[in-house]
Amino acid sequence: MAKIINIHTGDKTDRDDIPVFECSICNCKFSEGEGGLQHGAIGMIPVSFCPTCFSGIFDMVDYFKGSYGEEEEE
């Protein structure tokens, strides 16, 4: 649920139609506008990742690939 406040009038409106997802790692709630991975799958397991966990997964993959902290030479 999102609360929208009109800065000119001060009217408050609750919006239930904005989809909110729950992270599969840290269980925090996040919306599409925040980024992350809203719907995905690892094999047959459905997953969702918040922006922080999604970024951490990419960093972990880069580390295990061996390119962590290295620049590519041309």
Model confidence over 19-59: pLDDT tens digits? 888 999 999 998 888 888 888 899 999 999 999 999 999 99
Give first-to-last CA distance, the chain, whole Å.
Answer: 49
Domain that holds residue 22: 2-65
- The reply to whether 74 falls in a domain is no
Asked whether 36 and 29 are in contact (CB, 8 A), the reply is no
pLDDT category, 12, cuts 50, 70, 90?
A: confident
State how many domains the chain has.
1
Q: For residue 41, what are the β-bridge partners?
A: 46
Instruction: Report which DSSP code applies to 18.
Output: S
pLDDT at residue 71 above 80? no
